[in-house]
Amino acid sequence: MRIKHAVLTLWAALVTLPLLWAFMSSFKTDAEIFDSPWTPPAELRFDNWSRAWDQASIGQYLLNTLIVVGGALALTMLLGALTAYCLARYEFPGNRFIYYLLVAGMLFPVFLALVPLFFVVDNLGLLGTYHGLILVYAAYALPFTVFFLHGFFRSLPGAVAEAAFIDGASHAGVFFKVMLPMARPGMVSVGIFNFLGLWNQYLLPKVLNPDPDHYVLAQGLAELAVSQGYRSDWSGLFAGLVIAILPVLLAYVFFQRQIRAGLTSGALK
Amino acid sequence: MNLTRRGALLSAAAAAASTTLAACATGGGGDNEGAGKGDVSAENPLGVPADAGLEVVIFKGGYGDQYAIDAGTRLKEKHPKVAIDHKGIQGVGEVLQPRFVADSPPDVVDNSGAGRLDLATLVSAGKLKDLTELLDAPAVDDPGKKVRDTLMPGVIEDGTFDGKPLVLNYSSVLWGVWYSKSLFAKHGWTFPKTWEEMLTLNDEIKKAGLAPWTWQGKYPEYLNDPLLSMAAKAGGVEAVKAIDNLEAGAWQQPAVVAAAEAIHQLAVRGHILPGSEGLSHTEAQNAWCKGQVAFIPCGSWLEGEQQQVTPAGFDMVMATVPALTSSDKLPNGAVMAASSESFLVPAKAKNPQGGLEFLRYLFSKQVARGFAESAKALPVVTGATDGLTLTSGLGSVAEAVKAAGPNVFSYKFRTWYAPLSKAVDDATGELATKRINPQQWAERVQKAADAVAKDSSIVKHKR
Amino acid sequence: MRHGKYRFLVGALIVPLALYGVFVLSPYLQAFQLAFTNWNGVDSAPEFTGLDNFGRLWSDPLFLAGLRHNGLMLLVVPLAVIAIALALAAATKGTRVYRVVYFFPQLLSVAIIAVLWQFVYTPNSGLLNGALSAVGLDSWRRSWLAEPDLALWCVMIVLIWSSVGFYVVLFSAAMESVPEDIVEAAAIDGAGPVTVFRRITLPLIWESVQVGWIYLGIAALDGFALVQIMTVGPGGPDNSTEVMGLGLYRTAFAFGKFGYASAMGVAIFFLTLSIAVLLLRVTKRERVELA
């Protein structure tokens, strides 16, 4: 029993230490980070944070990211749920084909598609716009969402839907009023995973979002990391990293019960 | 209903996109109505249209982009109606590649930094504008002179392909070995003239409790620079040309193997800070800046890169690599040098005259002077640093330029043959960790060079 | 037959499928086409070169090195992650807070993970060497990422570290849906905890494990971002951490051979696809129904 807890604590330490260390480092000077990586800072240097915030315009990027990720997440969830539901609960010719076509989208390296994708987006006049980025994000999040929710919708009991049909509900009505609410736990789980993925998305905005005023957080961080490479501003980089991690961490802690609930009630079957 | 209609629209677009699949590479085009040319006058020698837009994309790396902003500001004084769209970015290649394919590029590009576009590819695809018109235009500071006469020797040649000047590099870069003048004064050390002396001094440095050398082990190319410099000094220009021309046995010339042996000795004699092979450039350079190590190999950008962490009174200076033997073919001051920060005007720019005009201001003395001050690097405009009080590092670089005179060399294989470049980096990393010996190093690299020479899919160049 | 089924299906599917077709499929198909050309990335008229690029793959030492390393990762990473995650999931029964904490790495982007671990492995001021010294194991200190025999394992450890949390949560969630009474009945019949786990729990959560195999298999065939940011070279020392994704990236962006890189992408795509299908077949078991 004691050994078990020692192991559990050890893993917890392995998982949290690097995070805490990054947090601590964001308050240190560069010299402190390199000379004594283990010790806490002599004084808390909040100027690292303000430097990261100003220099990398993290405030503006945070706002841009919220707009793009928020929009894309809503769109992905709606379309992903609709698609997964249709593929999971309806028999029709081509069902399996569509399903595998979608799932295959998870297997191809995205950066090969970047140049052709640029032209598609450019030809539609969507380059560098929020809604363009939202549509592309949603399209690339679709395969995982459908894959995840497909099993979820299959596992839902059919009786409730049957009853609703008998009561005269339409197909759309059954989906929105009956099945979607029942799928809520799964929706929350996949929503969180999509949020994480979209939040950290880097390659797509790099090519499709060239205007620095529209930069998302990942682009701002990359800029910080590159200039770090030239100017050796590690403390600023750590501050930027922590700023980028915090919203995600908060969202997770806030939603973690729902994630677990979503995974428990039959997802991934 | 509404949703469905939009869906239909999108799938029509998809169909359209997929029928022009192969045409993706030729896509765009067409709508490229340029701003054309305005009236040419003494005030406006390049005929910049009065109120066109001007899109400037600058690599914002070690040198920042203030100097390009300055150039824009000065251009705007002359052409108040030109709307300048300045973008300082990283990853120039990823951002601009599709725009070059689509023939809707910006008007001026600083194609530099990691992830820049391959210059040889841009040239062979005819994507760049001939800069002759700019070179023959009057200089901003002295209208009696042409722009071409205000640049350091070699700069125009560096950017000339098949007789056409297509690229102008902004900064002059030298490679050498750096040390702290104050640290050396404290211990009474002087920078060695030959590699033999270097190894002797290293033993002395070790006794003083310092590590003699470190290097940016995560990026092995940093150690290639002293190795290849010594090879060039010992073997002369012929040795360099043999390597660049992929001649049989070029990497097994005695001078080249001897240079590899010299670097190998650092490792064999324990002159390298333990762990260097796993350090990033930042970590290695910081260890050096903290006085834990005496020497570090690097290009002339080091001072600017380290300015935030360099302690006061450190006084870093760059020295040219010591002579390999007493019978080197090049004199001791000979130095590996090239120019960097490649500025170009795309052939399909919307406002090409504006792009040229921007470069005319960029290569003016005043802007170049600001570059020397803010970026701590040497601009290629002659006399730009005259009268400036140079920092110790930049001063030593300027002196090295003077001392070298005509004895300046550079290797081309790095830009010409990236796969060979990688093979050399890998081999040198192994050499510096004693996992291979100099003979094995030369064999490996020669094999890679032969493979490139045989590969018909790689375009060959000659010098 | 309920009327309007097809109208509903068409209405529901047309937007997502159009989106997917325009932004995902059509660029992918174009990339597939480029695999048969010598496109250099900016040229306007790539030349058709047939199967040339694919022929080249099998004599390209870097690609083959990548293939070998990804193969090793495929053997090691999924097995290690699933074993550790199953053990931790079983051991954390009733102690929720651990599971919340274990999920943390899942929240970080790969880039952040790679940067953090660089500081763990760096030889002179790194956390790992520091920790070894602190417990008196100075002779164990290494240049972790700079030694060809260790570097790939160091990368795999990061991959494992960052993946375990998700599967702990996944497996523990699945374990919670195993009915208590079956477990109790088995215990009364004299089955030890290991037997209960092997005979009852594992079969009942097998579908989750199977999904884990597939996700992890796909992840093991990638590893590009970690290698690119963390390793010497990157991909070194001396190509000891070369992975296929890195080779593809280098071929395209450093060597300017987009056609050849696309061929690599196509090869990786089919490889991943066959591994996923294979894993699905191999791990297939009769579904255990709890009626």
Hey, is B56 helix, strand or coil? strand
Widest pairwise Cα distance in chain A: 73
The reply to whether A15 and A94 lie within a common domain is no
Which segments of chain B belong to CATH 3.40.190.10?
A: 33-172+338-398, 174-337+408-454
Same domain (yes/no): A60, A39: no
Does A133 share its domain with A244? yes
Residues A32 and A121 reside in one and the same domain? no
Q: In C, which residues are within 8 Å of B13 by CB distance? A: 22
Give A263's pLDDT tier (boundaries 50, 70, 90): low
pTM: 0.85
Q: Minimal Cα distance from B122: which residue of C?
A: C42
pLDDT digits (tens, 9 = 90+) for B239-298: 999 999 999 999 999 999 999 999 999 999 999 999 999 998 888 998 999 999 999 999
DSSP character string of A12-75: HHHHHHHHHHHHHHTTS-HHHHHH-TTSPPSS--HHHHHHHHHHTTHHHHHHHHHHHHHHHHHH
Taking CA–CA distances from C218, the nearest residue in chain A reads: A107
Whether A77 is covered by a domain: the verdict is: yes
Alpha carbon dihedral B3, B8, B11, B17, in 10-degree steps, equals -120
B27-41, B94-108, B169-183, C39-53, range with greatest mean pLDDT: B169-183
**Has residue A269 been placed in a domain?**
no
Question: What residue numbers bound the domain in which A58 lies?
Answer: 49-264
Please determine, for residue A208, whether its predicted confidence score (pLDDT) is greater than 90: no
The answer to whether residues A72 and A198 touch, using CB atoms and an 8 Å cutoff, is yes
Q: Produce one character per residue of C187-209: b if its CB has 16 or more CB atoms within 10 Å, e if not.
A: eeeebeeeebbeebbbebbbbbb
Q: Are strands B335-344 and B408-409 parallel, antiparallel or unpaired?
A: parallel
The reply to whether residue B308 touches residue A231, judged by beta carbons under 8 angstroms, is yes
**List of chain A residues whose C-beta atoms are within 8 Å of the C-beta of residue C226:** none
pLDDT value of position B304 = 83
Question: Touching check for A173 and chain B: CB below 8 Å?
Answer: no
C-alpha dihedral over B285, B289, B291, B293, to 10 degrees?
A: 20
In tens digits, chain C (291 residues) has pLDDT values of 456 888 899 988 999 999 999 999 999 998 889 899 988 877 777 889 889 999 999 989 999 999 999 999 999 999 999 999 999 988 887 777 888 889 888 888 777 788 788 888 988 888 899 889 889 998 899 999 999 999 999 999 999 999 998 899 888 878 877 888 888 888 888 888 888 888 888 888 888 888 888 889 888 988 888 898 889 988 989 999 999 989 988 888 778 788 898 899 899 888 888 888 888 787 766 544 443
Residue B190 in contact with residue B318, Cβ under 8 Å? Answer: no
Report phi then psi at A215, rounded to 5: -50, 145
Q: Does residue A83 sit in the same domain as residue A140?
A: yes
Whether A167 contacts chain B with CB within 8 A? no
**B112: alpha, beta or left, given left = phi > 0 and alpha = psi -120 to 50?**
beta
Question: What are the pLDDT digits (tens) for C208-230?
Answer: 888 888 889 888 988 888 898 88
**b/e burial code for range C214-253 (CB count within 10 A of at least 16 → b):** bbbbbbbbbbbbbbbbbbbbbbbbbbbbbbbbbbbbbbbb
Of B28, B95, B304, the CB nearest to A210: B95
Contact A26, A33 (CB under 8 A): no
Residue A12 lies in a domain: yes
pLDDT in tens, A26-81: 898 877 877 777 778 888 888 888 887 877 677 788 889 999 999 999 999 999 99
CB contact under 8 A, C174 and A264: yes
Q: Are residues A56 and A38 in the same domain?
A: no
Cα angle, residue C176 at apex, residues C170 and C177 outer, rounded to 5°: 100
Q: How far apart are CA B297 and CA C158, in angstroms?
A: 31
Chains touching chain C, criterion 3+ CB pairs below 8 Å: A, B
Which residue from C26, C116, C173 is facing A18, i.e. has the nearest CB? Answer: C116
Least Cα separation, residue B17 to chain A (angstroms): 7
Return the residue of B nearest to C18 by Cα: B11
**Domain tally, chain A:** 2
Nearest to C143 among B4, B25, B275 (CB): B275
pLDDT of residue B230: 96
Mean pLDDT of all residues belonging to chain B: 87
pLDDT, residue A230, reads 61
- Distance in angstroms (rounded) separating the CA atoms of residues C211 and A268: 7
> Which two three-digit tokens encode residue C39?
């496109």
On whether both A110 and A242 belong to a single domain, the answer is yes
Domain segments of chain C: what residues?
Answer: 52-282
**Tell me, what's the pLDDT at B42?**
80
- CATH among 3.40.109.10, 2.30.110.10, 1.10.3470.10, 1.10.3720.10 for C52-282: 1.10.3720.10
Please name the residues in contact with A92: beta carbons below 8 A apart, sequence gap of 6 or more: C5, C6, C9
Q: Do A30 and B13 touch (CB under 8 A)?
A: no
| Rounded Cα distance, C158 and B346, in Å | 43
Chain C residues whose CB is inside 8 A of the B217 CB are: 143, 146, 232
Q: Computed from CA positions of residues A254, A257, A263, A265, in that sequence, does the dihedral angle turn out positive or negative?
A: negative
- What pLDDT score was predicted for residue B18? 34
Band the pLDDT of A228: cuts 50, 70, 90: low
Residues of C in contact with B24 (CB under 8 A): 30, 34
Six-digit token string for B44: 């406006």
Same domain, A24 and A53: no
* Contacts with A, C 57-116, CB within 8 Å: 88, 91-92, 95, 98-112, 115-116
Average pLDDT for A211-228:
74
More confident residue, C204 or A267: C204
Contacts of A210 (CB under 8 A, 6+ apart): A127, A128, B87, B89, B95
Searching chain B, which residue's CA lies closest to the CA of residue C125? B283
Q: Does domain B33-172+338-398 have CATH number 3.40.190.10?
A: yes
**A177-201 per-position pLDDT tens digit:** 888 888 887 888 788 888 888 887 7
Q: How far is B73 from chain C (nearest CA, A)?
A: 32
Same domain, A107 and A179: yes
The string of pLDDT tens digits covering residues A66-76 is 999 999 999 99
Distance CA A263, CA C15 (A): 28
> In the block, which residue shows the tokens 């002659």?
B382
The two three-digit tokens of residue C240, written as one number: 């000891």
What residues of B are in contact with residue C231 (Cβ under 8 Å)?
218
Residue with the bigger pLDDT between B211 and C46: it is: B211
Instruction: Provide the pLDDT for residue B251.
Output: 97
Interval B45-104: pLDDT, tens: 898 998 889 999 999 877 889 999 999 999 999 999 999 999 988 778 878 888 888 888
- DSSP helix/strand/coil, B48: coil
**Locate tokens 């010996």: which residue?**
B437
pLDDT for residue B7 is more than 50:
no
Q: Distance from C103 to chain B by nearest Cα, in Å?
A: 30
Chain C from 153 to 212: CB within 8 A of any B CB: none
CATH number for the domain that contains residue A183? 1.10.3720.10
Provide the token pair at A229: 């490479």
Residue in the structure block whose two tokens are 């797509």: A204
> What residues 101-140 of chain C have any CB closer than 8 A to a CB of chain B?
118, 121-125
Q: Can you read off the two tokens belonging to residue C264?
A: 């690599």
Q: How many other C-beta atoms can be found within 10 angstroms of the C-beta atom of residue A95? A: 14
B130 close contact with A: CB closer than 8 A: no
Contacts of B450 (CB under 8 A, 6+ apart): B246, B248
Classify residue C47 by its DSSP letter: P
- Tens of pLDDT, residue by residue over B359-413, are 999 999 999 999 998 888 889 998 888 888 888 999 999 899 889 888 989 898 9
- Across the interface, of B118, B277, B430, the residue whose CB is closest to C143 is B277
pLDDT exceeds 70 at position B26:
no
Taking one residue from A and the other from B, the number of pairs with CB-CB distance under 8 angstroms is 80
Same domain, yes or no: A1 and A83: no
Distance from CA of C163 to the nearest CA of B (A): 25
pLDDT(B16) > 70: no
Domain B174-337+408-454, CATH number (from 3.30.1330.20, 1.20.1290.10, 3.90.650.10, 3.40.190.10): 3.40.190.10
Q: Are A242 and A53 in contact (CB under 8 A)?
A: no
> Which chain C residue has the Cα nearest residue A147?
C211
Spell out where B15-162 has E strands: 53-59, 83-89, 108-111, 160-161
Q: For position B32, what pLDDT does the model report?
A: 46
